[in-house]
Structure 1
Amino acid sequence: MNVGRTRAIAFAGFGSQNPGTIRIADAVFGSNPSIPREVLAKAFQLDVKLVRFLHIVFGPPLW
């Protein structure tokens, strides 16, 4: 989601000693700093309320 007036660029990199062990839900909905809810809702075609719920479920522990 580009919030500015210039072109947006995305970089992706993959590398792991154990490929496939990263849980996408934890990485996306539990990231710190968190990804804005509006961006996740648009990217996954979800309702913002559902994204809020997923942040609660997969977010970092509150301890």
Structure 2
Amino acid sequence: MEEQSEPQMEFHVSYLDADSGLVRTEVFAERGEAERFANARLKDEDSWAVVDAVAVQQARRLAA
């Protein structure tokens, strides 16, 4: 029986692009980098950003 290792994580930032009015997503390898990017998107009271930790294996299955 194979031992399963911890899944590799990536961090998806979904945010409202104030210039276009569209929801966009960026992907980062490091949580800190994703959080800094998300914080930079918060320009006014209508802005929002969400950071989701996603297992890389899960992300690949969803893309298939």
Structure 1 or 2: more strand by fraction:
2
Structure having greater relative contact order (Cα 8 Å, sep ≥ 6)? 2
Structure 1 or 2: more helix by fraction:
1
Q: Radius of gyration: which is bigger?
A: 2
Query: Shorter-chain TM-score: which interval?
Result: under 0.3
Length-normalised TM-score, structure 2: 0.25
Length-normalised TM-score, structure 1: 0.26
